[in-house]
Structure 1
Amino acid sequence: MSKGKLGLSFLTAFALMLVFSMVAMAATAGVVNLKATVDNAGVLKATWSADTATGVTGYTVTVKKASDSTVVDTQTIATTSYTFNVDSNTIYNVEIKTNGGVNDTMTSTLSGVKYRYNNLTTSTDKDNALDNANHTGKNVTTNDGSKVGDVIKSKGMVKNDGTTGNHRTHGEYQNNTNSCASCHQTHTGASKSLLFKDGVYNTCTACHDGTLGFYNVFEPSNAGTFGGTHQGNMSVHLADGSVQIKAAPGGNGAANTGSWVNEFNCASCHSPHGSYSDRLLHYNPNGMGLAKKADGGIGIKGGTVYSFGSLPTTASVTDSNFIAVKGKASDFGLVAADIDGAVPADTTVITVFEKSGTSWVKSSNPWLYGYVYGSPKNYYTRFYKDFGTDVDGQMKAVDDGKGGKDYVYIADFHDNELGNSEINFGKGFIYSKTTYLDDVKTADVGRAYTVDLDLQEIARFGSVATGVPIFKSNVNSLFDGTKAGAGVQMSNYCAACHTDYLAKSGSATGTFSQAYRHTTNSDSYTCVRCHYAHGTDVTVMMDSHGEKIADLTKVGGAFEGNTAKATDYLLDKNPSSALKRYTNMSVCWGCHTDSKAEQLKNTSSYKDDNDPHGLEAQPVVETPVNTTNGEMNQ
């Protein structure tokens, strides 16, 4: 047989094999999109997508205890949904089997189903079932912390300093990192960002539903919960990509349109690759680190570069709260160690000042490195020289020092390659040991958002000493003055999307709509004093005393032992998507305990120095310790 005939026969056989393989794959589709939850009443609910193969007559549902595989229920049904009363304190595995047809007895199993405030637990329906060498995403449906070593790919790696340790999943990567494989698959990804699940939300929640002991966004915390029940007036930040950022109430959907039309998901608020803030809060939420004040942002676009010795008054600068300032390193208090060993007094520096009352102070915000794709690249942070215009009214071209011509900039990230200047993004300044920056006239500066919270470490699985560490914020620190500036930082961050809601009481405000607004721009009165970041329902809401269902039903509580009455008491009468910490309008009563109405005094409120009509001091809401097992309770 000739080579040509052999090749043709081989290709024909291979094509036939592919056809049969595709038929076989189609015939084994089975049940897909399986989801299961256990609600507040202990009702296990499972749903799935119908198997469309010919001859399927129904499904057999089997529920087993995860601990010992004891079967607690088996039913054969014709529909694609199932409910059964279970123990809310037990973890279950749910198996769905097809009956009849070419897919007879094909199964889909969801492991680790438990009472978690009605969140949709992680399943394989958002996966493409393709494995890689790092086994990215393996065992992410096991939510008891026992499989921690199977998902993080960096255990025992040699650290940059030569010691052995574990890499971080989000940011601060080592030079020999393998942490990327915790989320990404180079050749077998399920979504366009090479994520192992389909989309940002599904990838994040694969681990952050309690898997491995990571922070569980579906359980009550000081960020609220994504997993509230509709019966409990659920209100959540819809971070599953179903809405665009421009849906934010009080936002300026017309400005900075490139970001406002993006889908809203976990990465809209959190930066998976590292952050300058606690909680991995994004350094450039909604692109507002680049946008001007008029668009609700904190960036500088085409701003004048002022000399240190001739600063304008703060009142004269109305289009921005920030200005670029040029001077010597010594003017800004920089020392040789800050500037790579340069002599500070002889080093030209450009940095950013921000308004502080009637004065200018040096900003501590880092600068953003990056660029808008295009030709030429438009860098977030760059500095311009006024080159004048040519006969056609266009900016004159100048030699860029690399054999080409540039029209628009004098300095950006690449000038470090030529030794002209260098940007210290982390510390927020650019410097040159020559005169290269002396004739800079204007600047674009992308500035990072920073939020510094007061965090306390807890352990979700096992004891505090041996459990897997995760972190949770002490919400009181955001407004009780123990962390100065934290409340303002948080409100500024929220205002990256809710641009109109950053306000001070007393006058009609709002760049994009006019209204009188409650103060939100102080440490005492901040967005998160009244609202959760993730979401809310009756299980996390409080009354004006700061009491939740657990407080009301404990021994000596207002509804001792009666969860039903406590739930009715805390149900919001007009539920909305407001992410409220307090039911109804009790957040108002919690602060305004001494009403201005002459005959109306809150005689049952808590007492402090400003509330002579209260009974006792407002308690600090904190995470209690369960002394029976050493764990931190919710």
Structure 2
Amino acid sequence: MRNFMFFLFFGLILGVVTSTAFAAQIRVGQDYGPTPKYFNADDKAYYPAEIYLPNETNPARYRIHSNYSRNTDACAACHATHTAVGETLLQWGTVYDTCMACHDGTISTTYNVQEGEIGANGKPTYGGMFGIGNEPFLSNHLVTGAVKIFAAPGGNITGNYETYDVPDQGQGKMWDITFGCESCHSPHGLGGNARILNPNVNAYSLVNYKTNFSLKKVTEGNETFWVALSSGNSFDSTAKNAYQWVRSYPYLKGTKVYFDGTEKVEGVDYELSNSQGYTKIKVLQGNPATITASFYPALQVAMTITNYLDGDNTSQSPDSETVIHVKGINAFCGACHTDYNTENVYKDSTKSEPNGSSDLLNGKYTEAYRHQVGFNVADFEQYLPNSNMAYELRGGKKFMTCLTCHYAHGVSQSFWEKTLEGNWFPEAKSYWGTLPLVEIAGSSALKRAPNMATCETCHRKGPASEGYTANSAGSTPGNNRDTPVNPSFPLTRVDNTLCQKCHEKIYTGWLQTKHANLRGDRVDCQDCHTGGSEHVKSPSGTYMDSISELNYQQQVAKCAGANCHGNTSDSLANMDYNNDTISFVDSSTPQVREHVSSKHYNVGAMTCTTCHNPHGVIKHNNQTYELKYQPNSLCAFCHDLGEFAGAFNWEDYMPPVPRAAVNGAAYHLHSFTYKEANFPGWLDSDH
């Protein structure tokens, strides 16, 4: 009885502490809301009042994306079995939103990929940063779901895409796939590496599905097992020249093993293990003379990571995180940037390393002369730390990879300031000093240093040209740095169908919006994104300005332009709604100006696109909304709605009321200021 009373008392106390937030996550009116983006590293997981992360203060000991135990609770960090607001049972609306729920800095004890920092101490991440869009000289992999993979530089621009037809996934194509975080990372750790890199980038494993593949019998010490050799005629345990199979859901039906032509059952006839970074089959019963298999081969990337998730902020600390790749990164990048991976180019086939790609036209989809990758960097090794450049360590030798010159996620001026002139990397700080970190050579292109500095780091043309002044009768050469200016050539508009080729998902969504269906001059891509003509010629962000790069005041002002939402005025100073009278700030001002006078603008710094989606609509209860989420759920992102116990209705606070436009037409647009003093509380540290 005493134990019962204790647990009853504990339950009541917990209910008092969490019931409000619990209700906010469970029900918002008739809708379900996302888990609040709130986290306090106190080792108390108040899920769903905050993001669920076991062992909050030390997630290095609990890797939420890998090492699943049989009684794992990791799934609850991202998925909701019966109350999800996103497809595939996600607790947030999209894959990008789900990843950024934690990795935008909200979870202070893990990687902040938005700023490119490790935990709270701030060591720059190995992969770089994504940014929010308005950082100086920002370039990044666009993982928001805005482009298809075929838009990758060095990718398949032919429109003739490789296809697959496999047991688990059916029919499909490479390249015609939306690009996002999940394109490079497997959130469930299927790749078997410490960066959860995806073993099936751009449908690689599906297109290369192996059937009736003969396995090789291997005996090492007292152990006998079978492997599928990826190269050579014998197994090398050091090189690990055996395929790793992609397995688990949804790769189950296509994985089959046959003893002497008869299909066998895993766990009964054989044991299948990926624990060594490759797949090996151990026979449990029987003595087969041959084993064949059908399987999905993985893109294998191997690395060593020391001091995982340690972002110690002392520059001389030997204990902070260090990453060294040992296998596969060029092939991994080359799954999308295929023509840029010259590791398989041999002008002289008698040499053991790739060579000649700068002298020999090469490429699968486009032909060009390209910089070599995959060669030994011994001649340049001493200079690589000057610009914080990386390498792949294989068999004691260091080889050039895509990541020697580029970061995987992205860069900006602020990231260069940390990695080149900050206190984290002493060799780089000594080399760079206080040189200006300004990109003038076009896009910063995810480069480890601005302009062509990574070229100069290894090729060292500066020292070679010393003596110019002495050998030129004392004349001084001009400054070799220009000042970046706006292009002098005109940036003209292009047809929207050109945008559609790469941004099909966004284009299709935009077609459903009012912007796309206005009579006369509709609002199209380049009303908000300028520079279309140059963007089509060179698909980068160099000349492509987006409204999202402006601050919140400028963004709202853009929408409030005289030719847009600024030309619709409210002709009613007062309006009755549910027996209440709504009084507007100024009866002669457009709705957008009412927004500027509201708390949403002045306290929340909210723009139009904080809630509205210019690239698509949602349909709910026979209504179509140009919003990012269902209306009540959208409010739950910022407001604690638990006090309403399921009865909250957004229209009680922001009712749609008739307004008269200058052309005399009537529009129903919601009010921003009605009852705003009574808005539910903000989700903040007072939970």
Question: Which has the larger strand fraction?
Answer: 1
| Larger relative contact order (CA 8 Å, sep ≥ 6) | 2
State the TM-score, normalized to the length of structure 2: 0.46
Structure 1-normalised TM-score?
0.50
| Structure with greater helix share of residues | 2
